[in-house]
Amino acid sequence: MISSSYLFAQYSIVPRWVTTWLTPMWLLGMGVLVGLLVLLLLWAVLFVVAKKTAREIPGYFSEGVMPGLFSIACLFALTGLFITITVKEPGKMLESLALLSSSGETEYAADLPESEADSEVQWQAVAVGVDPSNFQSFAINTTEPILFSYDDNPGETISPTEIDPADGLKYVRNRSGVVPFDGNKVPNFHFANLSPSPAEVTIVISRAPGYPEVMTLVIATIFTVIVFSKYVIQSIFFPKLSAVALSTAKSELAQPLFYILSVLGAFLLIAFIFIPYNTFGEDIKMLKDSGLTLIMIAAIVQGIWTASNSVADEIEGRTALTVLSKPISRAQFLIGKFSGIMWTVGLLFAVMGVVFLFVVAYKPIYDARELGSDLPEWEVTHFEVVRTIPGLLLAFFETAVLVAFSVAISTRLPLLANLTICFAIYVLGHLTPVLVKADIDFAPVTFIGNLIATVLPVLEHFNIQAAIATGALVPWDYLGMTCVYCVLYSTVALLLALILFEDRDLA
């Protein structure tokens, strides 16, 4: 088989900008592919343990949102396989997966005796076990002038390096540069003291795979397994709730609104590439902010519309009475409705999110061409894509909170009132931090601000605009905290919905 590296070197079949654009998407696509293979393996294991349950699982993927989600996942995985030819050194990238567990910093210390006058240099070995395949950098600090060598026979084949205590020595591996240590493993670092005083030496070695970006593949795999496993677990252990959710999703996917939002949203996201933001090289930040806002607003509109159609209209049209005449409780009815709405919203996020990630990956290339500068490396586009994914998750969390409140409102009020109240919650939820922190010595304003912050969700927690403006990456612990915040407020909203719905006369 002809490798993609050979094609690049000999024939330049694939333009460089294509590599820059598609390599991040290749990592995501391969992660989804591995996730689907893991799911297939889990299904095979379940088939051995519980054959009856395993035979029911394919049916779960044939109705509701699952055909759409599964098709997107398969298409993304096949795209990842197809664009492998555009990726430089895909084999080395995949080899880096095995080195992820060895990443991190290790500190070593050594005490060197004083140097005696008119005597030979006394070398002392420090076992470090450096492997060029996962070596990232090292830093050496010393209290006295010393000599350093990584050769097994110091001073014979390679001249030692003198290290001054004021400067120390730091080496950072350049991926495109020369392979460190001539590509050989280094079991020991050797040091010799040049001072009449004892020297204390500290070595800090940072290890990371040659392509740490492969962590994206691992995360995509885990995310794929979680999403599909969640749907299957819900269908197996909560059949009544899942039946309501499935009915809700099927009825809403039969409406044109979902497809209008998907097509219009995808068109606008692609158009954002070519809109001049006049930000002097910071257009990518404006694009990400605009794209995330568009996706979230489209999802909120879909969620509120679905809540009104599937809850308010069914109550008014006596359809809910027919459903509840079966062995389904009101709590199962409401939670099932919320679940079906969120799966529909999740499908909309998947459609627009995939388009958005391709757009974000291409934007730096487009900007470089417009400015007449050099094309960025694929690591740059990958970094932009990685910094965008947390924004999609936070937007989904915010949508979930608003949909939960919309379901509660739909138990009593029609669509127009639902839209109005949800819009008020959205505005106040984002204004709450401003009201609370406002330096106004006026008791009513302070009281109202604190009251809103206590009763309504602080939606500003889900806003990623500050991280986009500063170019910061949203940490995982923050995503975890906002997820818990989303679950808590969604639970409160659903409890409120149950209270409002419990004594509603459906007849």
Query: CB of 319 within 8 A of CB of 403?
Result: no
Order of strands, edge to edge, in the sheet holding 161-163? 123-130, 186-193, 146-149, 161-163
Q: How far apart are CA 400 and CA 408, in angstroms?
A: 13
In angstroms, the Cα distances linking 221 to 60, 210, 217, 228 are 21, 20, 6, 11
Torsion of CA 273, 279, 281, 286, to 10 degrees: -40
Q: What is the pLDDT of residue 325?
A: 64
Overall CATH class of domain 104-207:
mainly beta
- The 3-state DSSP composition of the chain as helix, strand, coil percent (nearest 5) reads 65, 10, 25
User: How many other CB atoms sit within 10 Å of the CB of residue 418?
Assistant: 23
Q: Residue 389: which region, alpha, beta or left (left: phi > 0; alpha: psi -120 to 50)?
A: alpha
pLDDT of residue 6: 45
Phi, psi (deg, nearest 5) at residue 203: -120, 130
| Helix spans in 181-271 (H) | 215-237, 239-253, 256-271
Q: At what angle do helices 443-455 and 415-437 cross, to 10 degrees?
A: 120
pLDDT at position 288 is 93
CA 244-247-251 angle, to 5 degrees, is 145
- Give the per-residue pLDDT at 1: 40
81 token code pair: 């396989």
Q: What is the mean pLDDT of each run of 10 residues along the chain (507 residues)?
A: 46 78 95 97 94 92 93 96 89 84 86 81 88 84 92 81 91 66 84 91 88 92 96 93 92 93 96 83 87 95 91 70 72 92 96 96 92 88 93 95 94 89 91 71 70 82 82 87 95 93 71
Looking up tokens 């995985």 gives 77
Tell me, what's the pLDDT at 269?
96
Beta partners for residue 174, in sequence order: none
Residue type, 402: L
Residue 329: predicted pLDDT: 84
Q: How many helices (H) and strands (E) does the chain have?
A: 17, 8
The identity of residue 228, as a single letter, is F
Predicted local distance difference test score (pLDDT) of residue 115: 84
Residues contacting 134, CB < 8 A, separation 6+: 99, 102, 103, 207, 208, 209, 210
- 487: exposed, middle or buried (C-beta count within 10 Å: 0-12, 13-18, 19+)? middle
CB 107 within 8 A of CB 201: no
Angle formed at CA 374 by CA 371 and CA 377, multiple of 5 degrees: 125
pLDDT of residue 318: 60
Phi and psi at residue 142, to the nearest 5° = -145, 155
How many Å apart are CA 51 and CA 45, to the nearest integer?
9
pTM of the predicted protein model: 0.85
- pLDDT of 2 reads 46
Domain ranges for the chain, please list them: 1-98+212-237, 104-207, 238-507
Helix ranges (H only) for 83-214 are 90-95
CB atoms within 10 A of CB 82: 12
Which string of b and e fits 29-54 if b means at least 16 CB within 10 Å?
Answer: bbbbbbbbebbeebeeebeeeeeeeb
For Cα atoms 98, 376, 357, give the angle at the middle one, nearest 5 degrees.
Answer: 70
**Angle CA(365)–CA(369)–CA(370) in degrees, nearest 5?**
115
